[in-house]
Structure 1
Amino acid sequence: MNASVARNGDVSFWYAQMGGTPGYRPPLPGDRSVDVCIIGAGYTGLWTAYYLKTLQPDLSVAVVEREFAGFGASGRNGGWLTGGFSWSREKYLAAGGTREGVIAMGHALRGTVAEVMRVAEIEGISADILPTDGLTVACTPAQLERMRETYEEEIAWGTPKTRIEMIGGSEMRARIKVKDAVGALVTHGVARVQPAKLVRGLAAAVERLGVQIWEQTAVTGMEKGRVHTNRGTVTAPVIVRATEGFTPGLPGQSRKILPLNSAIVVTEPVPETVWQQIGWNGYELLGDASHTYSYAQRTADNRIAMGGRGVPYRFGSKTDVRGQTQDATIDKLQGILRRLLPEAAGLKLAHGWCGVLGVPRDWCASVGFDRQSGMAWAGGYVGLGVSTSNLSGQTLADLILGRDTGLVTLPWVNRKVREWEPEPFRWLGVHGMYQLYYRADAQEARSGGVRTSALAKLANKITGR
């Protein structure tokens, strides 16, 4: 147990690194009217506000936020800016999309990495953004085979060979000395980011454009043209729901999105002698190919941030308590760190926290706008929100403003997704899925990892992943 690990107060290490959680902006000062009211001051809401105001500066845009800008996943995530596409392409086709449209969506997503960096530069947002590669390491033959299948699927769906490649174990260990690495999938054109710096910088940028951000303002109800809050009512012909994993907390939205928990620990600054042993000189994003999955980055101040699943889901779609996580989760993540990087085993942990990511019933992201009701939405990123939220913001702005662009015809636009099952079925399904993933990893480890466990396939089938 790591009793000395900071686990509350600052929501995440990223805020502690910035001197602590920010103070609050003023709340909604009574009833107001605007052209567009956005619910949620995370990446999705702020990017939407940014593009709306840059495309039409005279538009009045306001954001209402229950806590503070960047309180949720936008200020707590692993800092992976990837432009990745990890959802089921076949599901987009089944919903009426075309192969060309899915390929175009992948191209648009890849473009978000450069777009976020462009906006950060012109807006003076200092977020420790560093272009690098992503490495998904395989430590068993079964994991390596899964990575090859992923590579082949990406190529078949139009991902350029300049974007991804497979490397062998020795080359992988030369970049980062991961124990037992037998190969890796390399994704070029990604970036590391300090997520809280990015979201806070973006909030300041939209304020400079004239967007009002009302914090400490909880939404109590929504109807056509009106957002009711504990501070007053906002009247707006267009309302944008940009609440991702916190969506179930809104009235009438309890089964729209499932809030899946993810947790992260950060080490103390790593001594140079340890870096010399493990490498990581390229500051690559590091993930593994296990079924339970972990993700990591080397931070700008030379720590290791390691993330993965803790308690995956809380009954009734409840979210965490201001980022607090459990001792067992911290111990589990430290165990993953020691397994992958034994040379880092002696490092102390400085901070641990958790957050929620949004999962729709079909595990595929969507964005949309119903002009008749004036309601717009985006989310369901399933862990790819840093980059995908940028494309959401661009797309929502085009939809709301009636712009006839290629973005508004992409296959994730205006998809209809059924709701999650009522409790206790969704709790049983999600926890059953992760128990099977854990057992699948253990089974593969016992058998030498020669082939993928059938338990993982069963887990995906249970929840429709």
Structure 2
Amino acid sequence: MQAWRTISLWMDQLDEPLDARPSLAQDIDVDVCIIGAGYTGLWTAYYLKRQAPHLRIAILEANTAGFGASGRNGGWLMGNLLGEDRLLATLSPLQRRDSIDLLHDIPDEVQRVLQREGIDCDYRKGGVIYCAARYPEQERSLRAYLDDLYRQGMNEDDYRWLTPEALAGQLRVSNAYGAIFSPHVATIQPAKLVRGLARVVEGLGVAIYENTPALDWQSGEVRSAQAKVRCQWVVPAVEGYAASLPPLGRHQLPVQSLLVATEPLPDSAWEQIGLSQGQAFSEGSRQVTYGQRTLDNRLVFGARGGYRFGGRLREDFNLTDAEIELRRYLFGELFPHLKHVRITHSWGGNLGMARRFRPHMLCDRQRGLALSGGYGGEGVGATNLGGRTLAALILGQQNVLTAQPWVHDNRPLSSLASWPPEPCRWLGYNAIIRSFVHEDRVLADPASPAWRRNLASGLADFMEGFMH
């Protein structure tokens, strides 16, 4: 279907027809019904089928596999979990290290599956560079972050400081003060991964029904417009679309992230930039930026978008000129020679933000509910961990996956923290984001006096405290 190609650069690049799979037209009985053919749903189905081939599994997808964040993200496959520092704080040093190793292994586990199943998604494990640039306060904040990581049990094999000279060997940005480098990140072509996973699970016997939105779900049953699915387990794997399935929306906030892609850049441009090993990169402001060099030599660059009152989903991702130009400004400050480069694609997506920014993997055995989400924009890798964990929980296993502090075994959905009602959510989110934008504007201006810089950073620090 041609319209699906406009979802993102990634979907536009697919060398395959995007013909819709059949919709669900009649009632069926299965063991596991998964709502959503994105990463979480597909990974869950994959690990269930690999361990228990006899299980009958159906996936209901409202559009097509990859329509949601799985086909729209920035392609960072990260070996970590949002908020892991707070989640691991209560563990002993030995337990903490075991959990850290589990997280850091995520990119390697994905690579093992890619090799086993023959999925080509432009996987390159070049690590990630968090660079301090544009203003000196970024160096101070990144060095403080690195100190926190070491206190949590990380070491220089996990995260290390790069001097400006060492940074230039990997990434050359304007006004560089240094960077943090971690090897535990890979970059991918997201749509190739989600579409490849869909084909693999179908080959294992999983039924995927597209253009079949789930209208309602309860214990043992999922209902679409045309049919019902009776099941032992329901797995809502909808992440940023949780608001469409009450009461999930109370626990996950839909936030938008917006991206642009340049035309393929010549070798001369990349000689000035670097990123020759497929590294992901970001800069150290609170704007939540992220970028990568694609296999066809484009620069893909994104930054966090907004939140709509009442948790309304954004469905139109035809970015405005202002949204595009903000991202051009941000990458142009890092790479001045790209300020006027042609942007060929712009898009965005909805992601799910958990309360207190703590992802969760939950299993309610009484109701037959298994849920993983709240990845906060870091779900490309976390969904793999979530899928493995949900499979283990559904199969009744007790192992290193199910023993983690982000796992809520045999707990009801209501045990998850809820977001406050409106207008508190909208007011709070926008107040925090505006403080971040104000801070960035002040710090990026070399003429800003010290008192104003300190005031802007202090306010942003204070507002950021409400996120936790």
1:440 CA displacement = 1.3
1:325 CA displacement = 2.4
AA of the residue aligned to 2:440 = D
Q: Aligned residue for 2:236?
A: 241
> Of 111, 117, 120, which residue of structure 1 is paired with 2:114?
120
Q: Aligned residue for 1:3?
A: none
> Of 251, 255, 258, which residue of structure 2 is paired with 1:260?
255
CA contact (8 A) 1:83 1:110 kept: yes
AA of the residue aligned to 1:398 = A
Q: Aligned residue for 1:460?
A: 464
1:328 CA displacement = 1.3
Cα separation, 2, equivalents of 1:41 and 1:313: 24
CA contact (8 A) 1:363 1:380 kept: yes
Q: Aligned residue for 1:130?
A: 124
Deviations, residues 192-225 of structure 1 (Å, cap 9, x unaligned): 1000000000010100000011111111111110
Cα separation, 2, equivalents of 1:65 and 1:442: 41
AA of the residue aligned to 2:458 = A
CA contact (8 A) 1:320 1:356 kept: yes
> Of 9, 15, 24, which residue of structure 1 is paired with 2:20?
24
Q: Aligned residue for 2:298?
A: 303
> Of 136, 145, 148, which residue of structure 1 is paired with 2:143?
148
Cα separation, 1, equivalents of 2:462 and 2:17: 42
Q: Aligned residue for 1:402?
A: 396
Cα separation, 2, equivalents of 1:155 and 1:277: 32
Q: Aligned residue for 1:11?
A: 7
1:37 CA displacement = 0.6
Q: 1:184 to 1:64 in 2, by over 3 A?
A: same
Q: Aligned residue for 1:40?
A: 36
Cα separation, 2, equivalents of 1:327 and 1:181: 28
Structure 1: where are the runs of 5+ without partners?
Answer: 1-6
Question: 436-445 or 155-164, which moves further after superposition?
Answer: 155-164
Deviations, residues 7-46 of structure 1 (Å, cap 9, x unaligned): 9961101011115882211111211010011111110010
Question: 336-345 or 250-259, which moves further after superposition?
Answer: 250-259
CA contact (8 A) 1:137 1:181 kept: yes
1:174 CA displacement = 3.3
Equivalent residue of 1:295, what SS?
strand
Q: Aligned residue for 1:4?
A: none
Deviations, residues 273-313 of structure 1 (Å, cap 9, x unaligned): 21222222223111010011210000000000000023x11
Equivalent residue of 2:350, what SS?
strand
CA contact (8 A) 2:87 2:406 kept: no
Question: 173-182 or 358-367, which moves further after superposition?
Answer: 173-182
Cα separation, 1, equivalents of 2:294 and 2:269: 15
Question: 129-138 or 421-430, which moves further after superposition?
Answer: 421-430
Q: Aligned residue for 2:311?
A: 317
Equivalent residue of 2:444, what SS?
helix
CA contact (8 A) 1:439 1:455 kept: no
CA contact (8 A) 2:66 2:195 kept: yes
CA contact (8 A) 1:39 1:243 kept: yes
Question: 165-174 or 434-443, which moves further after superposition?
Answer: 165-174
Q: Aligned residue for 1:367?
A: 361
1:413 CA displacement = 0.4
> Of 75, 79, 99, which residue of structure 2 is paired with 1:79?
75
Q: 1:51 to 1:425 in 2, by over 3 A?
A: same
Q: 1:100 to 1:232 in 2, by over 3 A?
A: farther
Q: Where do residues 173-212 of structure 1 align in structure 2 (5 Å cutoff)?
A: 173-212=168-207
Question: Normalization by structure 2: what TM-score?
Answer: 0.93
Equivalent residue of 1:62, what SS?
strand
AA of the residue aligned to 2:439 = A
CA contact (8 A) 1:76 1:354 kept: yes
Q: Aligned residue for 2:215?
A: 220
Q: Where do residues 374-413 of structure 1 align in structure 2 (5 Å cutoff)?
A: 374-413=368-407
Equivalent residue of 1:429, what SS?
helix
Cα separation, 2, equivalents of 1:100 and 1:219: 43
Q: 1:276 to 1:67 in 2, by over 3 A?
A: same
1:458 CA displacement = 2.1
Question: 443-452 or 348-357, which moves further after superposition?
Answer: 443-452
